[in-house]
Amino acid sequence: METFAQYGFNKSHSTAYAMISYQTAYLKAHYPAEFMAALLTSEKDNRDKIIKHIAGCKDMGIFVLPPDINESQRDFSVSGDQVRFGLSAVKNVGIGAIDTVIEARDRLGKFRSFDHFCEHVDLRKVNKRVIESLIKCGAFDAMGYKRRPLMSSYEEIIEMAQRRHREKSSGQSSIFDQFEKKEGTDPNVSEKTMLPDLPEWEHRELLAYEKETLGFYITGHPLSGFTARLGMVANTDAAAILEKKDKEEVSFAGVVSNIREVTTKKKDLMAYVTIEDLKGSITVIFFADVYRKVYDLLHGEEPVLIKGVLDVGEESIKVIASEAVPLAEALDRPFQTASFRFDTSRLAEHDLEALRTLLRRCPGKAEGFIHLLDDQSETVIYLGKNILFAPSGQLKEEADRILGDDSTQFM
């Protein structure tokens, strides 16, 4: 190894990598939106990395905006100081449809209305299936349309636009067209009157349709309402789990994005379940006995809390599940115990004293356990009935400040 190190990574390689590192760091620091748009485009076929980079944009204060029929290019692009999803990200929208939309937009300027859009794009390429996907993902939101009313009436508006296009092509015009021109009537009045007065879809439905058409949650996430309290029940996420060790107990929250069922030799049903959170996704193995108990929960739409043991392989990381419960239920029920992980190699006795002082300031009924960790072993110490406390988000925050991030877990 020592001999190889003298020539295996020579100066020319080091210099080349240093140049690339400096250039990319400079671009990310000075042109963050442009850098992230390019990065997202380069990883557009890797779903987990897209989710990770969208979370990275959020941490940088950059919003990743949904597709917009008047703003989106083919791939990710910059819109002001933000990043805009490209039209190629929308399912059922092919390159031919994208090209005809961009060509019409370049020729006419921005589309003034949905009717204007339908009248000037090639509806042989931008067919009803394409338009349905564009509505569901919010591509017409910026024009002031609600998705539900537009979804219920878009076929009639398309037919009206096609009829008007045929009349223009044949040189015909109606008496009403002449009246509108004379009186200066808004040409889109007929379209607006065709839209029913329906309330917008509920937030959950909006997110479901975004996920269906884009493969991602853009304007929100089912976990967003729980973010401030997730740390009380979860000790990892799709990004942090990569730093965990084999056989380590983990708990994390997310939504089910895929289930692959497998029949065992005993004819029982087990499953490989993909759980998606704000940072990416985690594959969870549910053996038959556990899968049977949580089948209905995993096939529902509510966020779930998963507990299990980490299985670190050579090429992938999986979790062998021991339990799954609704996340809302896990957060609402009173916590009975708490564990505090204490790394003996980097923490001192005064840190333990600080933890004890903190717990005595928060009297309650929960019991505590300290997990003393070193390179070789883990020792669990029960704090006893003399130190009972009330778990809370603030207590966890202060305990983690003493012991380190994610050292505290409530159960």
Q: How far is CA 235 from CA 167, 174, 307, 411, in A?
A: 65, 68, 10, 11
Parallel, antiparallel or unpaired: strands 269-276 and 281-286: antiparallel
Burial of 79 (0-12, 13-18, 19+ CB in 10 A): middle
pLDDT attached to residue 76: 95
The percent of residues above 70 in pLDDT, for the chain, comes to: 93
Q: What is the pLDDT of residues 220-231, one digit of tens each?
A: 889 988 887 888
Does the pLDDT at position 287 exceed 60?
Answer: yes
User: Which element (helix H / strand E) includes 37?
Assistant: helix 32-42
In our burial notation (b when 16+ CB lie closer than 10 A, e otherwise), range 249-266 reads ebbbbbbbeeeeeeeeee
- Tell me the CATH number for domain 224-332: 2.40.50.140
For the chain, what is the radius of gyration of the CA atoms? 28
* Alpha carbons 101 and 239: distance in angstroms, whole number: 37
pLDDT of 394 reads 87
Higher pLDDT: 61 or 227? It is 61
Listed by start position, the domains of the chain span 31-214, 224-332, 337-410
Contact 121, 104 (CB under 8 A): yes
How far apart are alpha carbons 232 and 390 in whole angstroms?
A: 12
User: What pLDDT score was predicted for residue 174?
Assistant: 54
Is the pLDDT assigned to residue 142 strictly greater than 90? yes
Q: What is the pLDDT of residue 91?
A: 92
Per-residue pLDDT band for 181 (boundaries 50, 70, 90) equals: very low
Of 46-50, 81-85, 354-358, the poorest mean pLDDT is in 46-50
Q: 179-187 — which CB contacts under 8 Å span 24+ positions? A: 187/115
Do residues 305 and 330 make contact, with C-beta atoms less than 8 angstroms apart?
yes
Q: CA 168, CA 300: separation in Å to the nearest integer?
A: 51
Among residues 345, 344, 341, 391, the alpha carbon closest in space to that of 365 is found at 391
**Partner residues linked to 53 by β-bridges:** none
With H, G, I as helix, E, B as strand and everything else as coil, classify residue 236.
coil
Whether pLDDT at 316 is above 60: yes
Under 8 Å between Cβ of 323 and 307: yes
C-alpha distance from residue 97 to each of 58, 129, 135, 153, 274 (Å): 30, 11, 14, 21, 32
For 400, counting Cβ atoms within 10 Å of its Cβ (0-12 exposed, 13-18 middle, 19+ buried), the class is: middle
pLDDT of residue 408: 86
Q: What integer is the mean pLDDT of 45-55?
A: 88
Q: What is the pLDDT of residue 27?
A: 97
Residue with tokens 């957060």: 331
**Cβ neighbours around 125 below 10 Å, total:** 16
- Residue 251 pLDDT > 60: yes
> Which residue did the predictor score with more confidence, 280 or 295?
295
pLDDT of residue 382: 92
Q: CB of 55 within 8 A of CB of 278?
A: yes
Average pLDDT over residues 87-109: 93
pLDDT of 172 reads 56
pLDDT mean across residues, the chain: 88
The torsion defined by the Cα of 30, 72, 99 and 49, in degrees rounded to 10, comes to 70
* 140-159 average pLDDT score: 92
Q: Is the pLDDT of residue 370 over 70?
A: yes
DSSP state of 68: -
Residue 179 CA to residue 148 CA, distance in Å, equals: 32
Residue 335 in this model has a pLDDT that exceeds 90: no
Task: Quote the pLDDT of residue 224.
Answer: 86
pLDDT of residue 185: 45
Q: For residue 147, which amino acid is it?
A: R
Amino acid letter for position 157 = I
Residue type, 297: L
Does position 171 have pLDDT exceeding 70, yes or no?
no
321-332 pLDDT per residue, tens: 999 999 999 888
